A and B are shown apart, each in its own frame.
Chain A
Amino acid sequence: MSRLPRIVRQTLTIARRDFVATVFTPTFLLFLLSPVFTIGFGLIGGMGARSVTEGSNAKTRIVAIVAPAQQAAMRSADARLRTVFSRADQPPILLITTPTADPQAQARATFKGGKADDTTAALYGDLTKPTILYGGQGRADARYLGSLAEATLRTDPAKAAKLSTPTLTSIARATPTDSGHKQAAFIAVFGIFFLTLLLAGQAVGTMMEERSNKVVEVLAAAVPLEAVFFGKLLGMFGSAILFVAFWATLVSQIGGILPANYANAIGEIGPAVGVPMFYLLFFAYFAMAYLLLGAVFLGAGAQASTPRELQMLSLPITIVQVAMFGLALSASGSPDSARTRLVELFPLSSPYAMAAHAANKPDLWPHAAALGWQALWVVIAITVGARAFRRGVLQSGSGKIGWKGLFGRRKAIDISVS
């Protein structure tokens, strides 16, 4: 039994060390407040996603081509049916028009509007046997039009027994819809976020590798540390390109193997600047986001001297990324707002927001300006990051860095003394 108190004492000794080593670090404060950040940025992201959805719905419509005698009944049925939907799930606005000589052509014409007047589904023909055309993403709206035809018929007591049997036909669009642009914007923002999130971990991890294997002094003696820093950044960028190329190739083939209606749905998603230019801009903004955040994270990662500190550092890094993602996402839902301009200007969120801009707006000149602006910040981030890297990697003492140290003349470096 005398062994038990000894083991307890030894256990407590280890527990005490671990507790002190964890708690008495500046990064623990960030860890402590992490739920606040996580919830806050989760809300921003959620609001962003919601604004994308709402922004898309606000500009879509469903069209019913019905005889004037049935129009009032249909309006009333629409108003009644909508009460069963929550605000977020409301069908698009209903547009009722009178049939011309060729209602089929009239219905098809509603899908050729392109930008603001996006039709998701259009109904024509006798309400007992209507034909409903729908775009790639309008199947649910087509079903709603079917229900609406049924409800309209039921408003006439004489025809109450007659049921509507609609025919649903999927049609392909020639150009992406406005909501397709927004979806492309979402994909762009999410894509860059996901990739940089994945790669930032590598950037920080590579620092730990240098710490543990002590190669850095060999490198520092042979080449300038700035070159080591940039080399690491480029090395990781290369692996990122490989990653992007692999998945881009895979995703680009998906359309060919999907059923027609799903393929039509994908066909509606597209950027305003056109696909080739969008690919180019996506790549450019991904490169900017990666270099910008990579430089920040590599510099920050170099300050960690133990895996524990590195773990702690990963948290604010993720928080920053989620914040940028949330901001850009919320901006992508409302491309003309002042908030969006601010998000496009803020250096860390600019690549995300401008990728969304490319999806939403066809103008190209803002991209030239944005890439120049971001390139400037990349240079600043790499310069500052390299200095932090130099101080962090070669120090074995306090490792404290301040503004003076980062921006002042490079002179003294904390390094082990022997």
Chain B
Amino acid sequence: MGEFVLRKDLAVSATGLIKNFGGKRVVDGVDIAVPKGAIYGVLGPNGAGKTTTLRMLLGIIEPDGGTRTLLGHDRPRDASDQVGYLPEERGLYPAMRAKEAIAFMGALRGLDLKTGRKRAVTLLEAAGLGHAVDTKIRKLSKGMAQLVQLLGSVVHQPDLLVLDEPFSGLDPVNQERLEALILAERDRGATVLFSTHVMAHAERLCDRLAIIAGGKRRFEGTVADARGMLPMRAHYVPVRDDAGIADHLPADARHDEHGWNFEVPDGGVEQALSRLIGAGHGIAGLSIERPGLHDAFVRIVGKAALEQAQ
């Protein structure tokens, strides 16, 4: 995707968002551009400002600075009926039945209750919760209740789905269901914006992502762009491993029980391999890998933390 995207092609755009709480700046000039139809991740460590950013984008709280548009509306509330939202702190009325809870959430977004109830049954059955249609929320497990709330955020078939830490508290089976649901929403044509600090989900799902740390946006791009920020890593297993081998490897090489790991130097690994073969260490195994999003995240966030500390 090109760097310059027309505003009309963006589901969400924000420029220079600022938010202060009690004199402390928790969001500091964040820019976000979420293309329509994309799955967009907002990544960051705990306390990075992800939730505050999402709340500002949705108009739940007002920014102290900056501008934002949501589905083409300068006032996020004007787009309310086209938005689905799952907050970080899950909340449902315990005495409501699952079907009613979903229909209620749809009704808040302009869907009539009758249609809401019908869709709720379909959604619950599709999510494997057909048995819980008339079960009260208080009788559902935490994970099931969370799934019900998620279904409540999509029952009105929103154009934009905003999920704040949607995977937290879910077991692996439900995490997989949620991933499938997010992909299904994207396939339906919706834009999905979600925050997480679990890289595996972002890596599997996101078309684009932003990494926020210390209230600032530290990275914006695709998963590949993020991974590309780090050099490739080589894993080398010698035929003969003795004390002198380190002299022929790059300075950052580290030994583990399987062999040696190091960043691929600018000129490639060929020179180092020639030296190793020349010195009689041989090559029992060699693999070159692109670092994962996890490594890129740790690098970006770690750098940000270092900057803040300074």
A binding-site residues for B, Cβ under 8 Å: 213-224, 394, 397-398, 410-418
Contact = CB atoms under 8 A, between A and B. Distances in A.
B50 to A, nearest CB: 6
Contacts of A213: 91-94
B22 A414 contact: yes
A215 B61 CA distance: 16
A417 B52 contact: yes
Contacts of B26: 417
Interface of B: 20-22, 26, 46-52, 55, 58, 60-62, 64, 77, 80, 83, 85, 87-94, 105, 108-109, 149, 152, 165
Interface hub of A218, A219, A224 (most chain B Cβ within 10 A): A218
| Closest A-B pairs by Cβ, 9 of them | A214-B91, A222-B108, A215-B91, A418-B51, A217-B87, A221-B85, A214-B89, A417-B26, A413-B61
B80 A418 contact: no
A216 B165 CA distance: 17
B160 to A, nearest CB: 12
A413 B26 CA distance: 13
Nearest to B149: A218
Contacts of B60: 217, 220-221, 394
B62 A415 contact: no
Given A218-B105, A417-B26, 20 more contacts: A213-B91, A214-B90, A215-B91, A215-B93, A217-B60, A217-B87, A217-B89, A217-B91, A221-B58, A221-B87, A223-B80, A224-B77, A398-B22, A410-B62, A412-B21, A412-B64, A413-B61, A414-B21, A417-B21, A418-B49
Nearest to A414: B21
B44 to A, nearest CB: 9
Nearest to A390: B61
Contact of B51 (A220, A397, A411, A416): A416
B176 to A, nearest CB: 25
A229 to B, nearest CB: 15
Interface hub of A213, A412, A413, A417 (most chain B Cβ within 10 A): A417
A267 B87 CA distance: 59
A215 B149 CA distance: 10
Contact of B62 (A216, A219, A222, A411): A411
B64 A219 contact: no
A417 B22 CA distance: 11
A213 B96 CA distance: 12
Nearest to A396: B89
A55 to B, nearest CB: 49
A418 B93 contact: no
